[in-house]
Chain A
C-alpha cells in the first residue's frame, strides 16, 4: 500500500512541474543502478551499488566508475541526504524499512517477468528521476530493435528447444524475463516443458535426456573457481554438446531491464539460425 502511495506521490509531484524532479538520487539495487545511470540527468545520481562496477554483473560498469558506491545499507544511504532512493522489492528490506521511517521517498522495483513489464519499469523509473522523455526514447528504440531482427520461424519450420543452464544445475522457466526473451527469439524453453516455474533445479541426467537443441550458458566469468561451475564443465555435458550448440550469454544481459535485452534476442536468433535444419523437432 505504502509503496504504491509513495510511487503515486512521486509521479504526482513530477507531473506538477520539472522543478519537483529529485536532485539527489541513490540506488541500492543492481537493476536500478543501470536505469538511473542510463536515464537520470548527469550529476543527480549520488550513489549506486558496489555491484554496478563489476563488469561480470553490470551492463553499466564503466559509467558506475564515476559515481560513489554503497553496499545497500541504510547507514551508507542516509548521510547522502537523498531525495529519492530506488530499491529492489525483494532485497535490502531492513534498509528500505528504515529509510521509509526516516521519511525518505523510496521507489521499489519488482522483478520484471516479461519484456512488457521491463518496459513499464523503464517508464516508471524514467518518470521518477525526471527524465520521462529519455525513458520513452529507450523503450521506442528497444521495440524497434526487437521488430527489426527476423524471427527464427522464417528460417526453420519448427521451433527449436533451448535450455538455460546455470551454476549448480539450475534452469529458468516460466515467469522470468529470460523466458520471454526465448519466446521472442522464437525458441521453446525446456524448463517450461518440464513445468519449472522461475528458478529450479534440472538434473544433468534429465537435461541430457531431454536433448535441447541449444544450451544457453553464462559467458565465462573470471571470478575464481567454484563447485557450482563443475556441473557446467562435466565431461558428459561437454561431449554431448559441441561448441556449436552452446550459446554463451553474459547473465547481466538478461538480468535487468535495459537495452541489453535486445542483444540477447539477437544472439539467440543468430544461434538458432546456425542450427542444422534437422536439429529442430
Chain B
C-alpha cells in the first residue's frame, strides 16, 4: 500500500470518528472495506508513528471502555488541513482516471 493512501485513510477515519486507538482504526478500516483491507501491525503502527512525527496526529494514553490502557490518536488542525489537501488530490486523480478510462469515447 502506498504511504500516501494509508495516510489518507487513517486521517479520514480519525477525523470522522474521533480519538481512536490503533486496533480500532484497523478494525474500522477492515469493516468499511468489507474485509478487503486487513492492516498488519507492521504497516499500521509505523504509519501512525510517522503521522505523529509529522504533526498530523496527536496521541495520548487513555482507557478503553473495558478499562484497558490504550494509546488514542486524535487529528490535529494541521492534520485536518493535510486531510483536506489529500482528499482534493484524490478526487482530482479519480476524476482524471475516470475520464481516461470511461470518457472521450
Tell me, yes or no, whether A binds B: no
